Structure 1
Amino acid sequence: MNAVDTWLTIILLTVATVITRSSFFLLGHAVKLPPKVQHALRYAPAAALAAIVVPDLVLANGALHLTWTNPKLVAGVGAAAFFLATRHLLGTILAGMALYTLLRISL
């Protein structure tokens, strides 16, 4: 692949990105999603976050590690319990990190 092909690829990918991202702003008022789709899309951020966080909590060195000796998993469960009890996001982060630090030091 020569320099012209590389620059052409970069330019075309940039144009494709700008078109796909700006289409929501340019056509947003003209396109109406059905209510069921809008309702389902409200769960997308939580699903994406869970897809990122859960594997980190349950895997250790690439293997499934679902025991009480896994400090990440125990801290994650503790943070979830704290959030369910208080509904305080910053407190959840602090409680989870404090629990993780204590468990990592002690285990």
Structure 2
Amino acid sequence: MSATEIWIVIVGMTIVTAVTRALFLIGGERTVLPERAQRALRYAPAAALVAVVLPDVLETPAGLSFGLSNHPLYAALAGLGWFLWRRSMLGTIVVGMLVFTALRLIF
């Protein structure tokens, strides 16, 4: 792509982003999301987090791996287990990091 094409794409993406984010502001009070859509949007942050984290946890340079060499996977599972058991965010981070570090030192 030439420099001009790149700038055209950047400007186009900027316009699309601005318009889609501003639609609800432009509509004012007339724009009301249905109750079902509002309920569904409560899960958007968790879904986005899973979409970002899951590929990093499951994939290694060799591809998809469930072996002991995939330290992030087992650290994430340990952290998830701790969170489901104790509901402690700090404990989740500490347990995940301890498991990750232990696996790196052992394997």
Query: Normalising TM by the smaller chain, what interval?
Result: 0.7 to 0.9
SS at match of 1:33: coil
- Change beyond 3 A, Cα 1:62–1:49: farther
- Change beyond 3 A, Cα 1:11–1:81: closer
Unaligned runs of 5+ in 1: none
Cα distance per residue 1:76-95 (max 9 Å; x no partner): 10000010011111221222
CA-atom RMSD in angstroms: 2.4
* Corresponding residue of 1:59: 59
- Change beyond 3 A, Cα 1:10–1:103: closer
The sequence identity of aligned pairs, in percent, is: 39
Number of aligned residue pairs: 106
TM-score by length of 2: 0.77
Cα distance per residue 1:14-53 (max 9 Å; x no partner): 4443333233333353211221111111111111111111
1:26-45 correspondence to structure 2 within 5 Å:
26-45=26-45
TM-score by length of 1: 0.77
- Change beyond 3 A, Cα 1:24–1:94: farther
Counterpart code for 2:20: T
Unaligned runs of 5+ in 2: none
* Corresponding residue of 1:100: 100
Q: Does 1:24 align with 2:16?
A: no
